[in-house]
């Protein structure tokens, strides 16, 4: 019999194999100082394009004040226990009411984390006869939720409505054959890698032909899209057709936790049957009070969303004008597509960070096919015109080097923190930089 650890010791995985040279730099980098468009990385200031701090709420003085006061009043323990047993509060319920109202739904339930929350929601909603039809590029939390699902699932090609219809036909036929079950369609409001919106309006239109319910993960649309910031459903004019609306607080709200909104009786069912909440401690009070404050600001300060879009458009049009391929984004998420291997991509990222003071994240194989590189730039309301200009110039310069083959090295640059090899590599700021 093999020791179960043996295979883990032999094969660290597609990204883990680079750990010795990458840790602390290409993977697990430590951004320091207050969360802003500029932060400190290994002791120097960089322009940061990697945070989903869309509205710039993370370090807003009013948010910092509310978070601090709520923590001073309640500490992190309160309330203790799961919501169902002893961990409920009027603040938790108020946040649920306000989220439901904002999303034009009858009710909402808080989830401790988006990832496990949506997994567990899929588990609560779907029984073994039910069939899930879902977009091929769905986030890992949806895919993992489907791993819990004992029934059938059919995947449709990303945003391909003809294929979606085909899978709905298969699902309908299966349910008729079984004589039991229903269909749940799952897609996203905004696909976080490519930035394209899910074709929800078209999916909702398919309700005229097929019987199903629609669950949408709008992690990147919440707060960024729609006239009031209610998300991709509002932007596409199909919010009513979304039966279950999900978002995390980890992006526009710059916090932690998530929620699911929908019809009262269904949310009530979920409240009493969702295992990840029933068997887990509820969100701590400072998080809930902090989220109430964030929601209030998100609703009453449209100027934050306007600034975000001003920056996103400036960045996206600047990239396009310089000949960059930014794909099909119709959100603020800004991918930049290039060709190259993992080593080239890493060398280019290093050049950007070291010589241009621009901190951007890359996505490489195995997340995307071999030979492709995606820079994922996330604009926010706190970026400036100057940040965008500097970044555009840096991209122009480094792309030229990439095309000239200057980043073709034999192996990944060794940028790992020294403590990987025994030493210590720490750059904690002596004093946090505040604006």
Ligand X SMILES: Cc1ncc(COP(=O)(O)O)c(C=O)c1O
Which residues are near ligand X by CB under 6 A?
Answer: 113-115, 139, 141, 188, 192, 217, 219, 248, 250, 258
Task: Output the smallest distance, CB 220 to ligand X, in A.
Answer: 6
Under 8 Å between Cβ of 247 and 219 = yes
Q: Which is nearer to ligand X, 37 or 255 (CB)?
A: 255
Task: Output the smallest distance, CB 191 to ligand X, in A.
Answer: 8
Q: Which is nearer to ligand X, 113 or 395 (CB)?
A: 113
Could you tell me which of 191, 211, 202 has the C-alpha nearest to residue 238?
202
Q: Which is nearer to ligand X, 214 or 219 (CB)?
A: 219
Task: Output the smallest distance, CB 141 to ligand X, in A.
Answer: 5
Task: Output the smallest distance, CB 225 to ligand X, in A.
Answer: 13
Could you tell me which of 95, 409, 107, 121 has the C-alpha nearest to residue 278?
121
Q: Tokens 């207050």 correspond to what residue?
A: 34
Q: Measured between alpha carbons, how far is residue 126 from residues 20, 145, 416 in Å?
A: 42, 10, 44
The 10 Å Cβ neighbour count of residue 306 is 11
| DSSP three-state, residue 82 | coil
Q: Which is nearer to ligand X, 87 or 231 (CB)?
A: 231
In degrees and rounded to multiples of 5, residue 334 shows phi and psi of -120, 95
Task: Output the smallest distance, CB 145 to ligand X, in A.
Answer: 10
Residues in CB range of 412: below 8 A, 6 or more apart: 18, 21, 22, 26, 342, 343, 346
Torsion angle of the four alpha carbons 66, 67, 71, 72, in this order, in degrees rounded to the nearest 10: -40
Q: Which is nearer to ligand X, 218 or 344 (CB)?
A: 218
Q: Which is nearer to ligand X, 141 or 412 (CB)?
A: 141
The 10 Å Cβ neighbour count of residue 339 is 12
The torsion region of residue 401 among left (phi > 0), alpha (psi -120 to 50) and beta comes to: alpha
Under 8 Å between Cβ of 374 and 328 = no
Q: Which is nearer to ligand X, 40 or 283 (CB)?
A: 283
Task: Output the smallest distance, CB 216 to ligand X, in A.
Answer: 10
Task: Output the smallest distance, CB 251 to ligand X, in A.
Answer: 7
The torsion region of residue 187 among left (phi > 0), alpha (psi -120 to 50) and beta comes to: beta
Task: Output the smallest distance, CB 391 to ligand X, in A.
Answer: 23
Q: Which is nearer to ligand X, 69 or 144 (CB)?
A: 144
In degrees and rounded to multiples of 5, residue 204 shows phi and psi of -60, -40
Beta bridge partners of 337: 325, 374
Nearest residue to ligand X, by Cβ distance, number only: 114
């Amino acid at each position: 019999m093999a020791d179960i650890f043996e295979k883990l010791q032999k094969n660290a995985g597609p990204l883990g194999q680079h750990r010795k040279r990458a840790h602390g730099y290409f993977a697990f980098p430590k951004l320091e100082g207050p969360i802003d468009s500029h932060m400190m990385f290994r002791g120097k200031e960089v322009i940061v394009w990697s945070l989903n701090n869309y509205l710039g709420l993370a370090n807003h003085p009013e948010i910092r004040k509310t978070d601090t006061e709520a923590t001073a009043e309640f500490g992190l323990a309160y309330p203790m226990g799961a919501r169902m047993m002893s961990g409920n509060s009027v603040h938790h319920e108020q946040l649920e009411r306000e989220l439901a109202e904002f999303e034009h739904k009858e009710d909402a339930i808080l989830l401790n984390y988006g990832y496990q929350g949506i997994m567990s929601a899929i588990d609560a909603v779907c029984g073994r006869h039910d069939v899930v039809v879902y977009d091929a590029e769905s986030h890992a939390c949806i895919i993992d939720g489907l791993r819990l699902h004992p029934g059938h699932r059919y995947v449709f090609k990303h945003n391909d409505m003809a294929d979606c219809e085909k899978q709905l036909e298969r699902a309908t036929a299966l349910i008729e054959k079984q004589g039991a079950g229903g269909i749940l369609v799952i897609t996203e409001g905004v696909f976080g890698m490519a930035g394209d919106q899910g074709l929800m309006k078209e999916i909702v239109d398919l309700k005229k032909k097929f019987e199903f319910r629609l669950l949408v993960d709008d992690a990147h649309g919440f707060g960024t899209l729609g006239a009031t910031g209610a998300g991709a459903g509002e932007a596409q004019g199909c919010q009513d057709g979304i039966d279950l609306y999900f978002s995390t607080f980890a992006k526009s709200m710059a916090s932690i936790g998530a929620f699911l909104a929908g019809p009262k009786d269904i949310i009530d069912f979920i409240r009493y049957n969702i295992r990840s909440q029933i068997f887990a401690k509820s969100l701590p009070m400072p998080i809930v009070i902090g989220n109430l404050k964030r929601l209030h600001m998100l609703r009453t300060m449209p100027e934050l969303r306007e600034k975000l879009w001003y920056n996103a458009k400036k960045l996206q049009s600047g990239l396009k004008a310089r000949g960059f391929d930014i794909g099909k984004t119709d959100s603020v998420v800004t991918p930049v597509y290039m060709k190259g291997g993992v080593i080239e991509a890493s060398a280019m990222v290093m050049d950007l960070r070291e010589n241009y003071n621009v901190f951007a994240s890359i996505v490489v194989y195995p997340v995307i096919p071999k030979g492709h590189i995606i820079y994922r730039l996330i604009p926010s309301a706190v970026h400036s015109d100057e940040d965008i200009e500097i970044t555009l110039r840096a991209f122009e310069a480094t792309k030229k080097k990439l095309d000239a083959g200057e980043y073709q090295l034999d192996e990944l640059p060794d940028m790992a923190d020294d403590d990987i090899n025994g030493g210590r590599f720490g750059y904690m700021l002596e004093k946090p930089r505040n604006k």
